[in-house]
Amino acid sequence: MSAIGKPMDRVDGLLKVTGQARYAGEFPEDGLLHGSVVSSTIAKGRVLSIDASKALALPGVVDVIHHLNRPKIASYDEAFADADAADGSPFRPLYNDRVLYSGQPLALVIADNLELARHAGSLVQIDYAPEAFETDLLTQQAAAHPSPQTPPEPRGNFEAEWAGAAISLDLHYSTPIEHHNPMEPHASTVLYQPDGTLHIHDKTQGPQNCQAYVQKVFGLDKRQVRIFAAFVGGAFGSGLRPQYQLPLAVMAAMALKRSVRVTLTRQQMFTFGYRPRTLQRLQMGAAANGRLLALGHTAIGQTSRFEDFSEHVVEWSGMLYHCDNVQLTYKLAPLDVFTPLDMRAPGAALGVLGLECAMDELACALAIDPVQLRLINYAERNQNEDKPWSSKALRECYSEGAERFGWHQRNPEPRSMRDGRQLIGWGMAGGVWEAMQMKASAKARLDAQGKLTVSSATTDIGTGTYTVMTQIASQASGVAMADVRFVLGDSSLPTAPLQGGSFTVSSVGTAVQQACEALNAKLLQVARQAYPVFKDAEAVRFEEGKLHAGDVSVSLAQLVKDSGEEVLQAQVDSEPDKKRQGYACATHSAVFVEVRVDEDLGTIKVSRVVSAIAAGRVVNPKMARSQILGGVVWGIGMALHEETQVDHELGRYMNHSLAEYHIPVNADIGEIDVLFVEEHDEIVNALGSKGVGEIGIVGVAAAVANAVYHATGKRVREFPITLDKVL
């Protein structure tokens, strides 16, 4: 019986489509109070006074909490951090009179219902002493300092090789601020229990991270805080750190000894982390035959004044292609803004964009096919770490993707392919994302009815975690899928890492597999004591809810009864295998894109995408394909649509709504073909799985940009590529 590798439907699908799945802001409670956040209207300065008298005069308004009257909070006088923290001092809502950025929460109005709380919030009067501020990375790039997360050391002699190369390029690219904008806004429902403990439904990618955060901030014991996140309506990284609605809701609940819910508005979803703006410089030197002799990648990213947010932007340039002379530089420019935050394929989505556009420009300068140029510079080892790859089927991604796309029919001359008034452009790019594995724990529990319950404190942010863990448990235990239940989203369950970085299946999945194997070992022990036929049996197998030895079988439910226990269970703590240490592990991709550009209007339509992915063993091809589809759509948005625009005179976002923050819609998306190339990896983890959440977006925006150049002959290096730039 094989459950792994099959395109199973979502086990939680029915709950979602029938509205039975409850999200963080949907849990009912008698007497629940609602909080509404009052946000700063200036970018920097001090609060001189807060007058909440008009709000408090309204019947049904319970309290208005701000920095002058907030309860004493344990950690506000000492440093604290969460699992996804940046270097520095994390933001503390209602800490003091300082305004650090536009949109900062300055007060929380608590009322009997949400509408009243929102209205009362509009009546709170705040007087400021504004100060000069800087929110533009372009004007502040000279003030950038080296990131605390330093890139790999330079290798070879980059400057000399670049200067002496047959062809050398010096290229500059810029990417804008982007915001996550998941369907479900951030919300926290704090249910205050009679004994003073807190049951909190939070929109998070890590219940135990939030539990530790609340404990630390409010000086509570672990047993006093329990976090739930059974369903999460998308997150993309926005739920890795606890966002400010969580401490505000807890603050109010503890002060009032009542249950409180705080939900952020769509506009307030733009008042915390985001993908940072970057300025990138790519310097490439190559021989006439296309071999890379020198590669320099410099990136400047923005960060806040109070934290240094770092991500891996330039590292990919040192590993995706073979080059012996490499110099990677990453700097941060502090601005009067909130701290950026990990966002789908953090760092790679940005850094590979610059690298893959530069590779296309190099291919054009050398008159070498873009796929051929990549094959000439194929990296057999990860030179950053000087390690061989545990597996790498990128060549197959290039060849199978190109064949599916029909790449051999491409005329390399820009503006040479057309359909009437439509200029046709074909572009491609490669992609890479680290295949990580974290420590994780899981428990497997079998009852006397043969029902298996497996649990771990991970989340499902829409990626299909419920389903793939059920498949892994079914395969490892020999229990039918219908008799397996996977439980997640509760901080009291066995330890799990944050859900992010494409490592959930590799980490939690491995723990689930090992917990089921440990449970099977207990069942076999019972069988050997209860049934003589199993005592000396060398070959046994667990299948269809039974233990088999030759022609003899006994049900697993019967073995539980034979044990004399109501249930048999096993819990394991899993960690990465030591054999990984000698290898570099990564997922790879090749993306091929067709665009149609209207010659008169400059409008760009992505008509066709082929994404070829090498991700080891794919547990559920249906879920995995959905992840790649979502990544491709986002990559198209990154190339052509997405940009959080800032009014630098006010230090404020101008398009902080889904009406004006442009993302692709159905009409923007053409045919997307996803193909998983065969890749076997015995080293990466016991499952042989590499994860697909991030890789889907990597390289897509570059492939679109390269296709736009091929169609128009115009190279746009400032993203997104809007029609005004093309015209």
Give catalytic residues, as residue numbers.
694
Angle at 622 between CA 428 and CA 679, to 5 degrees: 60
Question: Within a 13 Å sphere around the CA of 193, how many CA atoms are in the beta-carbon half?
Answer: 10
- Judged by DSSP in three states, 183 sits in coil
Rounded Cα gap, residues 635 and 637, in angstroms: 5
For strand 125-130 and strand 145-146, is the pairing parallel, antiparallel, or unpaired? Answer: unpaired
Rounded Cα gap, residues 214 and 481, in angstroms: 36
Q: Which has the closest alpha carbon to 589: 427, 699, 693, 673?
A: 699
Residues 6+ apart with CB under 8 A from 221: 215
Q: Which has the closest alpha carbon to 592: 603, 605, 607?
A: 607
Rg over CA atoms, the chain: 27
Residues 6+ apart with CB under 8 A from 62: 33, 110, 111, 112, 256, 258
Rounded Cα gap, residues 434 and 502, in angstroms: 9
Asked if 655 and 645 touch (Cβ cutoff 8 Å), the reply is: yes
Asked if 273 and 239 touch (Cβ cutoff 8 Å), the reply is: no
Rounded Cα gap, residues 35 and 107, in angstroms: 10
- Judged by DSSP in three states, 358 sits in helix
Rounded Cα gap, residues 21 and 462, in angstroms: 12
Residue with tokens 């009014």: 647
* DSSP class of 584: B
Would you state the torsion angle of the CA atoms of residues 477, 484, 491, 232, taken in this order, to the nearest 10 degrees? Answer: 130
* DSSP class of 694: T
Check the CA dihedral 212-215-221-227 and report its sign. negative
- In order of 37, 134, 272, 305, the CA distances from 97 in angstroms are 16, 19, 19, 16
Rounded Cα gap, residues 712 and 714, in angstroms: 5
Rounded Cα gap, residues 465 and 488, in angstroms: 9
